[in-house]
Chain A
Amino acid sequence: DAGITQSPRHKVTETGTPVTLRCHQTENHRYMYWYRQDPGHGLRLIHYSYGVKDTDKGEVSDGYSVSRSKTEDFLLTLESATSSQTSVYFCAISEQSGRAIHEQFFGPGTRLTVL
């Protein structure tokens, strides 16, 4: 397995509280991604990063922010959690060689419940 860890693995929080999820990689890959998984939707991209301090929005970015201050860590923050953000969150990484970006490898996931 690619060296990707996510923390915490499970979290229960209350509406309106801030939440930060962490993704840590030991592969030194350039690209990192945050997805959410909901039944019937597969995975949907929230934000991604293409280098330190370089991030961009994905399909479902509203209510989320990210930061990447070093290659190995990519943080996802819910500034004020809502019940609609109850989901399973996956981090992924991929590398680039030349102009080709290789397949993504996924972390184990974080199950977040917002009450």
Chain B
Amino acid sequence: AQSVTQLDSHVSVSEGTPVLLRCNYSSSYSPSLFWYVQHPNKGLQLLLKYTSAATLVKGINGFEAEFKKSETSFHLTKPSAHMSDAAEYFCVGEDAGNMLTFGGGTRLMVKP
């Protein structure tokens, strides 16, 4: 069975400072991993996905994530936060049957 753990339920940063959202996964094989973003009262939008082609994955809006097998981590980063980045972010794993397992979510707050 696969599990995905987001280590912080809330993260607060100032505009222009770096963003780090942490995600660990537990799987007996190298999974596919995703980050989705959900803005208030909206559906989920795919930010980026890892499918073993490259460990550093670049996504939309300046986000990127690095797959580290030795640490079983897939942390999401952005060099400089923007007010529009305020949202909830989900780390998601995909198992061999193509079913998704969601982390609990991290709410990112960006202060002016």
Contacts and interface: CB of A to CB of B under 8 A. Distances in A.
A42 B105 contact: yes
Interface stretch (B13-21, B69-77, B96-104): B96-104
A28 to B, nearest CB: 18
A44 B102 contact: yes
Contacts of B99: 45, 48, 58
Interface in B38-74: 41-46, 49
A104 B45 CA distance: 9
Interface residues of B, number: 20
Given A101-B98, A103-B34, A103-B49, A42 B104 contact: yes
A48 to B, nearest CB: 8
Contacts, number: 41
A42 B46 contact: no
B47 to A, nearest CB: 11
A42 B106 CA distance: 9
Given A45-B99, A58-B99, A105 B46 contact: yes
Interface string A70-104: 00000000000000000000100010000001011
B90 interface: yes
27 contacts: A40-B9, A40-B104, A40-B105, A41-B102, A41-B104, A42-B4, A42-B90, A42-B102, A42-B103, A42-B104, A42-B105, A43-B102, A44-B102, A45-B99, A45-B100, A58-B99, A90-B44, A101-B98, A103-B34, A103-B46, A103-B49, A106-B44, A107-B43, A108-B43, A109-B41, A109-B42, A109-B43
Interface of A: 4, 40-45, 48, 58, 90, 94, 101, 103-109
Given A42-B92, A42-B102, 18 more contacts: A42-B90, A42-B104, A43-B44, A43-B100, A44-B102, A45-B100, A48-B99, A94-B98, A103-B34, A103-B49, A104-B100, A105-B46, A106-B36, A106-B43, A107-B43, A108-B42, A109-B41, A109-B43
